[in-house]
C-alpha cells in the first residue's frame, strides 16, 4: 500500500521548504533548460548571469545540463564545468543568483550516445553503453538538427573514468559557487542509456540484469555524494519518457531498483519527469506513487504542470517540489504570476530556444515591465 503523505495548506506551493542542505523560499523550481548559448571554449554566455538572476525568485534553479568533460558534449554551444574558464563563467552566474537571494544547483551531464563525431576529439565516435545508434537528432552549428552518430561501447576499463568525471564536475560546480548538483539521469543520455535494456546490451558487470544496468548511475551518484555531500545532490530520472530514444522492457522494476539503490545515500531530492518530456503525461502506465514509496527523501515532480496541478500536488502531499520548464523560460517572474494567478507570457518559437542571443532569453517581460509600458 502507498505510504501516506501529510496534506498541507492550499497555498503551500508558495511556502518555504528544505531539500537536504538547501533551504528554499518556496516549492517552485526552475527545471534544467538547455539554451545553447555558451561562448568560446563552452564557457557560459555573458548573458547567463542576467538570465538566471532574473529567475532567482524560484525556490531553486536547476541550471542547464552541463558537460562533465569534453567527451560528454552532444550539442552545439552547451556549457561545460571542467575547465577553469568555465568555472569562472559559472561563478558570475551563481554570484548573480545569490545576490538576489536565490538558490542554484547545476545539472551535470554526459550525453553518451546522443552526440556526434563533430563534438568528439579527432572526430571519434561518441561513447555509449553499446554500439546501438539512437534514433534521435542533435543540434550542430551551421547544420541545424542532424542525426546523432553511431556510438562505440565504452570499454570496462573506461567506466571508472566516467564516474571520476562526474565526481570532478561536482567538485568544480561547488568551486563555481553552486549550492549543489543534479545528476542528469534522464532522457537517454549516458546514465539513462546504461539503465535500459533497449540501449544497453553489455554482457559485463554493467549490462544484463537490472542491478548491473543500474550500477553506473548508482556509482556516479555515490561518487558525487561522497565528494560534495549527499545533501547537496539531486538525481533526475524520466522513467517512461521516450526522449533520446529511450526504451526499456520493464521500467517499473528498473526504476524501483534505482530508487532503492539511491535511498541509502540520503540525497537532497529525486526529480522525476512524469510521462513523455514536454508531451503526454500518460504515454505509458507507470506507478509514480510506488516509486516514491521506495525513496525516503524530497520528491520533485515535472512535466506539463500548470498552476492548479502544482497547487494540488503540493497541498495533497503527492509531491514536495514542482519544477517548471517552458513556463520559466517565458516568465522570469513565474513565482509571482503563480502566486497572483496572473496570465503567463507565451513561449517564443524554437529558433529562440536553442541558440541565439538576448531575444527569447533575457527579454521576456515581467509583470512590472508590462505595467510600466501599459
Q: How many residues bind ligand FMN (CB under 6 A)?
A: 23
Taking the least distance from each CB to ligand FMN, the nearer of 202 and 353 is 353
Does position 137 interact with ligand FMN (CB under 6 A)? The reply is no
Taking the least distance from each CB to ligand FMN, the nearer of 261 and 275 is 275
Does position 331 interact with ligand FMN (CB under 6 A)? The reply is no
- What x-and-dash track marks residues 159-198 binding ligand FMN by CB under 6 A? -------------------------x-xx-----------
Does position 32 interact with ligand FMN (CB under 6 A)? The reply is yes
- Using alpha carbons only, give the angle 372, 324, 134 rounded to the nearest 5 degrees: 130
Catalytic residue selected from 189, 269, 305, 354:
189
Candidates 38-46, 152-160, 165-173, 301-309: pick the segment binding ligand FMN (CB under 6 A).
301-309
Phi-psi group of 125: left, alpha or beta (phi > 0 → left; psi -120 to 50 → alpha; rest → beta):
beta
Residue 75 designated active-site:
no
Of residues 34, 53, 57, 94, which one binds ligand FMN by CB under 6 A? 34
Does position 302 interact with ligand FMN (CB under 6 A)? The reply is yes
Residue 121 C-alpha cell reads as 576529439
Range list of H helices, the chain = 48-54, 84-99, 159-175, 190-195, 210-213, 215-228, 251-262, 288-294, 307-315, 326-330, 334-340, 350-353, 367-373
Does position 278 interact with ligand FMN (CB under 6 A)? The reply is yes
Nearby residues of 1 by Cβ (< 8 Å), 6 or more positions away = none
Residue 330 C-alpha cell reads as 517565458
Does position 273 interact with ligand FMN (CB under 6 A)? The reply is yes
Q: Give one DSSP letter per residue of 163-229, joined into a string.
A: HHHHHHHHHHHHHTT-SEEEEE--TTSHHHHHH-TTT----STTSSSHHHHTHHHHHHHHHHHHHH-
Active site residues: 189
Binding site for ligand FMN (CB under 6 A): 31-34, 64-65, 107, 184, 186-187, 236, 273, 277-278, 302-305, 324-327, 353
Amino acid at each position: 500500500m502507498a505510504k501516506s503523505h501529510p496534506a498541507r495548506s492550499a497555498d503551500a506551493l508558495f511556502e518555504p521548504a528544505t531539500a537536504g542542505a538547501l533551504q528554499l523560499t518556496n516549492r517552485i523550481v526552475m527545471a534544467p533548460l538547455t539554451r545553447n548559448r555558451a561562448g568560446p571554449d563552452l564557457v557560459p554566455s555573458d548573458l547567463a548571469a542576467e538570465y538566471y538572476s532574473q529567475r532567482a525568485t524560484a525556490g531553486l534553479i536547476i541550471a542547464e545540463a552541463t558537460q562533465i568533460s569534453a567527451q560528454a558534449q552532444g550539442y552545439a554551444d552547451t556549457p561545460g564545468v571542467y575547465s577553469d574558464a568555465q568555472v569562472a563563467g559559472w561563478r558570475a552566474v551563481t554570484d548573480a543568483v545569490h545576490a538576489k537571494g536565490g538558490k542554484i544547483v547545476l545539472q551535470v551531464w554526459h550525453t553518451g550516445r546522443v552526440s556526434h563525431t563533430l563534438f568528439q576529439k579527432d572526430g571519434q565516435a561518441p561513447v555509449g553503453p553499446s554500439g546501438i545508434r539512437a534514433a534521435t537528432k542533435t543540434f550542430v552549428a551551421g547544420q541545424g538538427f542532424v542525426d546523432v552518430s553511431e556510438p562505440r561501447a565504452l570499454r570496462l576499463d573506461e567506466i571508472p573514468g566516467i564516474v571520476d568525471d562526474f565526481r570532478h564536475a561536482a567538485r568544480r560546480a561547488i568551486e563555481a559557487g553552486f549550492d549543489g548538483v543534479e545528476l542528469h539521469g534522464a532522457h537517454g543520455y549516458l546514465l539513462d542509456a546504461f539503465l535500459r535494456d533497449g540501449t544497453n546490451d553489455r554482457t559485463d558487470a554493467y549490462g544484463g540484469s537490472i542491478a548491473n544496468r543500474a550500477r553506473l548511475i548508482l556509482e556516479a551518484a555515490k561518487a558525487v555524494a561522497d565528494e560534495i555531500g549527499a545533501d547537496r545532490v539531486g538525481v533526475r530520472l524520466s522513467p517512461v519518457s521516450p526522449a533520446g530514444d529511450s526504451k526499456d522492457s520493464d521500467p517499473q522494476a528498473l526504476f524501483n531498483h534505482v530508487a532503492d539503490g539511491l535511498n541509502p545515500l540520503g540525497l537532497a531530492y529525486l526529480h522525476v519527469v512524469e510521462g513523455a518530456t514536454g508531451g503526454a503525461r500518460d504515454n505509458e502506465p507507470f506507478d509514480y506513487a510506488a516509486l516514491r514509496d521506495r525513496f525516503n527523501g524530497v520528491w520533485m515532480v515535472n512535466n506539463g504542470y500548470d498552476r492548479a496541478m502544482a497547487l494540488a500536488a503540493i497541498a495533497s502531499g503527492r509531491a514536495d517540489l514542482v519544477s517548471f520548464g517552458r513556463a520559466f523560460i517565458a516568465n522570469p517572474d513565474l513565482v509571482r504570476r503563480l502566486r497572483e494567478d496572473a496570465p503567463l507570457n507565451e513561449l517564443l518559437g524554437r529558433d529562440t530556444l536553442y541558440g541565439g542571443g538576448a531575444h527569447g532569453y533575457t527579454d521576456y517581460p515581467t509583470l512590472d515591465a508590462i505595467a510600466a509600458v501599459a
